[in-house]
Structures are given as structure tokens and as C-alpha cells.
Amino acid sequence: MMIIIAEFFVVILKVLWAFVTAGAKWVVRPKEKSVAGQVCVITGAGSGLGRLFAKEFARRRAILVLWDINSQSNEETAEMVRQIYHEIDTPITKDGPVGGVEEVPPFQPQVYTYACDVGKRESVYSTAEKMRREVGNVDILINNAGVVSGHHLLECPDELIERTMVVNCHALFWTTKAFLPKMLELNHGHIVTVASSLGLFSTAGVEDYCASKFGAIGFHESLSHELKASEKDGINMTLVCPYLVETGMFKGVRIRKEIEPFLPPLKPEFCVKQAMRAILTDQPMICTPRIVYMVNFMKSILPFEAIVCMYRFLGADKCMYPFLAQRKEAMNNNDAKNGI
């Protein structure tokens, strides 16, 4: 019994120390690690946040491996990355052996592109194997690919529900299983899960998307605990949970107009810069904006009816409805054109 009591007090001290260190990071910004020369795989790199992640890692001289189902848009991202490499491709100098200065040829990172449908397990495994032969081991995995069906539950075809779950959630299992074994062997790596605030708290009309993102967060947290339990301290995990981002994915989403100026959709560039800061400082989780932390905490302690009242006040209860209406209208227009 005395041992249990002693261990309990030790745990309390460790918890308090965790609060102190976390608070200190708000005051003293941690130093960002270098990713120069490290192999970084980004899924869904052909557009949106994936493209912006690629550009940010390129500026830090990482070796980029871009995955996307759309080969053309993926190549467009690769061309942007090559342009960034060219802009930073300047010689560096170091002290010579006899006190002089000699010019050192700069390290020249490369970018590789692969057409891969992460919604198909065989495509993930075959692409990963091909990539390992051509590029080498992966240091950083950015699980970014995502889709949304844009239908009310009872109007959504089963195939689209399955597609949402497979791409947003199941694909994380397959990409991680493809690259984690080598990370464990080397005790080195970083896995990033780009989820969503809709994986922390939900809203009406996007049941499949919310379920997939809740699943993604559950997967990420369980894997984080597994790595801690196996004492693989060289492998880091970062969970990215942004609020609505202006990538066009949820075009038309509206909350209450009086509240909207205080909670506008995030600029993609801002979202990725915040995520990059978290990744490069090995931060376990980043929510953007910070109010997402508060909303998630309140959801945990408030009665459900209180949450409903808050949603209605904010206009968050039906915020997806304009988006769903636009998607439905667009589909009807496409069906009409196909019928002509």
C-alpha cells in the first residue's frame, strides 16, 4: 500500500511538471528542428493543404515524395517545389582547413511524384514498396488526403459513405503499416495526421465525414499510446485539427452572420504555418484557432442539451446546410447536362 501511495504522489508531481513545461512553451518558443535531407511523404499533395505542406517542407530542404490520385495536379505541385528548390539553391561557405573560406556545393533535394489512390489498400502498399526502392526510407509521413461526400445521410449513396471512411480513416492504417516498421527499427520518424475540428465535435449533415475524422483521431491517439508503451521515443506524432479551412472543400458553410466575423474560415496558408510550427517542435497536437481547445473541453463537461443551445446560438447546428444545398444543386445540374 505504501508503494502505491508513493507512486501516486510521483504521478501527481509528473502531471504538475507536464503543466509547467507546457506553459513554458507558450512563453519560450521551442527551437524548430531541421528536416533538411529527410524524406517526407505527403498524401493528397495535389491541392489544398497537401500542396501547401509540400511547399513549406521544400523551403526547409526536405526530400519530397508527393502522393495524389490526380497525376496532373500532383505534377503541378512538384513543379512548384522544384521552383522553390531552385530559389534556395545558393552556395554556402565554411571555414577552410587553413583559415580561409571555401565554397561548398549546396545539398540538392529532389521531389518525387506517385499516382496513388489511398482508398485502395493494394495501391498504397505497391506504391510504398516502389517508393522505398527508388527513394529510400521515410522520415516524415503526412497523412493529409481527405474527401467529403456533401450529402445528408439518407440522401448519400452507400458508395460515397464507404469512400469517405476509407480515404479519411482506413487509409491511415495502410500508410502507417507501410512505413512504421522501418521507423520502429531505426527508432526515428514523425507521423502527422491531418484531421479536423469535426473529429473533436460534430455538427448536422456530415455524419460520414465526422465519423471518419473521429476515427482518424482515435487511430492517431491509440498509435501514440502504443509508441509510448513500446518506449520508442525517437518517433514523434502530431495531430492537426483545424477549424473550417478555405480550400473549397466546404464551400458555402455559414454560421450565424453576427458571429462569423469572430470565427471566419481559416486561410489555408495560416493553417499550414501553424501546423508546421507544431510539427517542427514535436508538438503532439495543434488546434487552429485556439478556441477549438475550449470548445472541445466544454463539450466534455456540458450536458448535451446545453451544447445544442450553444450550437443554435452560434448557428453551428445547421452551418453545413448551405454547403449541402450547393452540392445537391451542382449534382442536379450535372445530371441535367448528362441527360441532354
pLDDT reported for residue 334: 61
pTM: 0.87
Cβ contact 31:60 at 8 Å: no
- Low-confidence residues in the chain, pLDDT < 50: 92-99, 101-102, 104, 336, 340
Q: For residue 107, count CB atoms less than 10 angstroms from its CB and return exposed for 0-12, middle for 13-18, buried for 19 or more.
A: exposed
Residue type, 223: L
Topology of domain 34-86+106-338, CATH: Rossmann fold (3.40.50)
pLDDT at 77: 97
Q: Residue 98's pLDDT is what?
A: 45
Position 337 scores a pLDDT of 52
At residue 96, the pLDDT reads 44
**pLDDT for residue 42:** 98
- Per-residue pLDDT at 95: 44
Q: Which is nearest to 243 in space by CA: 257, 260, 222?
A: 260
Positions marked catalytic: 209
pLDDT in tens, 150-161: 999 999 999 999
Q: Are 67 and 114 in contact (CB under 8 A)?
A: yes
Question: Does residue 94 sit in helix, strand or coil?
Answer: strand
Question: Where do the domains of the chain lie?
Answer: 34-86+106-338
Of 228, 216, 203, nearest in space to 147 by CA? 216
